Chain A
Amino acid sequence: MNNIIILPVIIPFIIGAILILLYKRHSMQRVISGITMFVLLALSVFLAIYVYQHGTIVLEVGDWKAPFGIVIVADLFSTLMLLLSTLVGTVCLFFAFQTVSQDREKQFFYPLYLFLMIGVNGSFLTGDLFNLFVFFEVMLISSYGLIVHGGTGYQLRESFKYVIINIFASALFIVGIAWVYSITGTMNMAHMAQRVSELDQTGALNIVAIIFFIVFACKGALFPLYFWLPRSYYGPPAAIAALFGGLLTKVGIYAIIRTFTLIFNHDVSFTHKGLIVTIAGFTMLLGVLGAVSQFDFKRILSYHIISQVGYMVMGLGIFTPLAVAGAIYYIAHHMIVKTALFLFAGATQKITGTTDLKKMGGLLGTHPWLAWLFFITAISLAGIPPLSGFFSKFPIILAGFEEQQYVISAVALLVGLLTLFSMMKIFSYAFWGKQKHTEEQAKIPVGKLLLPILPLVALTIILGFAAEPIFTYSMEVAEEIMNPTNYIESVLKE
């Protein structure tokens, strides 16, 4: 039974390797990769339910005992993230079938896609810090491949910056690993957590904690390390931009939440309530101001990723069970909604041939379904009840006021308002007003394109109306990760 938790890493690896051999036959590649993603989705649903019912599953790879060998751990938080990532991966893949051009499909698009899934799934499941680095690299190298895929001038230019910032962050990751190894003498995260609480070395550990925070902040696009994101996510096709926007930054956020609840919880008043909350406030505010100033569909959405990553980190920074539960709910909401919005941007681009809002208009008249589905998702992002955005922001801000963090809570409320403003800007420019696209463009059917997005829109409505059970679930996840003894005991078997 334990072996099943390595499957989300092994399956895409084997299938991806097979797809390299089949690179000339792209209809076959589509079928195989589609089936693989469905299998992964079913597997992660099963794992989420199984772990919820039976508790944490631990696999000691190669039967090397816990603190010495590599462990794969599936607890509530990692199975939830696994479920969300495979959901986003499946949806984006089916969108990619219809939008990615044949030239790009020929150049190992699907193998790279599956290799990206290995890295993402592995990062969620691993219980070993160095192994986390390795899976991060697997994910990043595939993402370098995908972000530059197609090789247009714009992509090459901006991807170079993306690659450089990530290589720099990875180097810092190894620095952090070296230091934490010299302090604790272990790589196993559970063992490390145990040693950290015994050691009482606050000064040295704070430095290591900040190094790790910088590393993950680089991947998760936090202030002041977010500058690469809007430009580099603009280049690749919509399916890839949606996958990156929904998935990649959240892997960084997952790593921050995991390390800062499990390992670096020795000095909460400095790291969480001081550093993380401050950074979260700046991230939210500057991200949303960037979005307000833009007039490009994809750019606005990219800046919104930054501002919303701030909310998740703010939930962690306040560090009460309610706030962390809110952050987890927010991750779920954000991954679903943000992917859907990027895919809507792709669908509008297919109709109008542009992402510049000033050159669009009147899509409501010619494509009403697209417009209304976008409207639902956009107001969900802004946090209008009864959609999921409201129920994910509410607990974070409530916890902020309860903990007397008034400034950050006020910033969060203001950011919500500005989010609504910029979403309505997209709606009024692109969908209202005079029709600016030609009659031929008005006849382009988007029904098939909307089909993969529909489940995401349905989910944001469900997450809103079924907030009670889902919030109870995220509350349980939050209590489990806030209290790391369960994780430590299940890994070290004490």
Chain B
Amino acid sequence: MELLMSIVIGIIFSVSIYLFMSKNLLRVAVATLLLSHGVHLLLVTMSGLQRGASPILSFDAEAYTDPLPHALVLTAIVISFAVTALLLVMSYRTYKVHKTDDLEDLRGSADE
């Protein structure tokens, strides 16, 4: 299961890096979204998947799954949600002001 997850995470990372390299504002915004999904999956996977019963709910199990990564990933999801919302607003404003969504045109002139 961990191996499968690792491959999935790898694919998500590579797609996201590919999108990062594109010239379109919105694609870059989507790239950050995908990247954050990738790292959240990584955070859950690295601590081992489903090693035992869920903690607190059952008291008679031999082993329990580590609950800490789940707490961490929840926090990370909330943060990435806020950042993505902000980024989308910023991309939209940039598009409105500069009338373009091509990052090549957003480089700025050399003499500024």
How many A residues, CB 8 Å from partner? 33
State the CA gap A164–B45 with chains docked (Å): 25
* Dominant secondary structure at the B interface: helix
Decide: A171 and B39 in contact? CB cutoff 8 A: yes
Contact A167 B35 (CB under 8 A): yes
Chain A residue with the shortest CB-CB distance to B108: A157
| B30: Cβ under 8 A from any A Cβ | no
**A187 at the B interface (CB under 8 A):** yes
- Nearest A residue (CB) for B91: A160
Shortest C-beta distance, B93 to chain A (Å), equals 6
User: B112 contacts which chain A residues (CB < 8 A)?
Assistant: 154, 234
Asked if A151 meets B93 with Cβ closer than 8 Å, knowing A137-B83, A157-B98, the reply is yes
Distance in angstroms from A445 CB to nearest chain B CB is: 30
| In the complex with contacts A137-B79, A179-B46, A160-B69 CB distance below 8 A | no
Instruction: Judge whether B47 and A148 touch: CB under 8 Å.
Output: no
CB pair A177 B86 closer than 8 Å: no
Contact, CB under 8 Å: A160 / B43:
no
How near does chain B come to A118, taking the closest CB pair, in angstroms? 14
Q: Answer yes or no: B57 CB below 8 A from chain A CBs.
A: no
Partner of A167, one of B32, B42, B91, B108: B32
Tell me, yes or no, whether B53 is within 8 Å of chain A by CB: no
In the assembled complex, the Cα of A148 lies from the Cα of B112 at a distance in Å of: 18
**In residues 49-102 of chain B, which contact A (Cβ within 8 Å)?**
68-69, 72, 75-76, 79, 82-83, 86-87, 90-91, 93-94, 97-98
Known: A156-B97, A167-B83. 9 other contacts (CB 8 A): A130-B75, A141-B83, A141-B86, A144-B83, A154-B112, A160-B94, A167-B35, A178-B42, A178-B47
Residues of A whose CB lies within 8 Å of any CB of B are: 130, 133-134, 137, 141, 144-145, 148, 151, 153-154, 156-160, 163-164, 167-168, 170-172, 174-175, 177-179, 181-182, 187, 231, 234
* Complex A-B: 5 CB contacts under 8 Å: A157-B94, A157-B108, A170-B83, A172-B39, A178-B45
